Amino acid sequence: MVCFIFNESQANSSYLLEINFIINKFLMTQHFNSFYSSFSEKIERHSIIIMRIALAIVYIWFGALKIIGISPAGDLVEETVFWFKPEIFIPVLGFCEVLIGLGILIKRLVPLTIVLLLLHMIATIFPLFILTEACFDAFPYRPTLVGQYIIKNLVLVAGALVIAGKHNSNYCSQ
Confidence of residue 50 (pLDDT cuts 50, 70, 90): very high
Helix (H) or strand (E) holding 165: helix 153-166
Backbone phi, then psi, for 142, in 5-degree steps? -125, 85
- 16 located within any domain: no
More confident residue, 23 or 84: 84
Backbone phi, then psi, for 80, in 5-degree steps? -75, -45
Cα 129 to its chain centre, rounded Å, is: 23
- 31 located within any domain: no
How many structural domains are present in the chain? 1
- 12 located within any domain: no
List the domain range (segments joined by +) for residue 68. Answer: 55-172
60 touches 98 (CB < 8 A): yes
More confident residue, 113 or 20: 113
- Residue-wise pLDDT tens digits, 104-146: 999 999 999 999 999 999 999 999 999 999 999 988 889 999 9
Of 147, 149, 154, 150, nearest to 132 (Cα)?
Answer: 147
* 16: Cβ contacts below 8 Å, ≥ 6 apart: 4, 5, 6, 10
Three-state DSSP class for residue 136? strand
How large is the average pLDDT for residues 38-65? 93
- 4 located within any domain: no
What is the residue type of 99? L
Indicate whether 26 pLDDT > 70.
Answer: no
- 43 located within any domain: no
Of 47, 68, 60, 51, nearest to 102 (Cα)?
Answer: 60
- Residue-wise pLDDT tens digits, 87-113: 999 999 999 999 999 999 999 999 999
- 124 located within any domain: yes
Mean per-residue pLDDT of the chain? 86
- 45 located within any domain: no
Category of 69 on φ-ψ map: left (φ > 0), alpha (ψ -120 to 50) or beta: left
- 7 located within any domain: no
Residue 136's DSSP bridge partners are: 143
More confident residue, 27 or 150: 150
| % of the chain exceeding 90 in pLDDT | 61
More confident residue, 147 or 36: 147
